[in-house]
Amino acid sequence: MRLSQLYLILCVVGLVVPYAEFVSWLVANGIDIPAFFDAMLVNGISRFFVWDVLISAVVVLVATYAWRDKLSVRWPPVVATLLVGVSLGLPLLLYLMERGKTRETA
């Protein structure tokens, strides 16, 4: 299996797994923004994970900007990170980088 294929598989996993949890929460609670933030920030360990993901998202956005000249398409990792999260944005960025590297050597 090529690395680019693995990144695409991780994109699917990074989309499906988090959204399965999110949809499950929406079904149980509806669109209740205050309850969403209450649940997300309920204790120190959950805040740890929130900060970890937010900082990682910023890193993906900065890396996408920094590597913009090496990417054939620049906006998908940004959109993926903002709409889904790092679990999709990062493997998508890595896939695009790997695809660009493959094209350079071909």
Question: What pLDDT does 94 receive?
Answer: 94
Residues 57 and 81: beta-carbon distance below 8 Å:
yes
pLDDT for the residue numbered 99: 85
Domain ranges of the chain: 3-105
| Cα 84 from Cα 88, distance rounded (Å) | 6
For 25-84, write each residue's pLDDT tens digit.
999 999 999 999 999 999 999 999 999 999 999 999 999 999 888 887 789 999 999 999
pTM for the whole thing?
A: 0.87
Beta strands in the chain (DSSP E): none
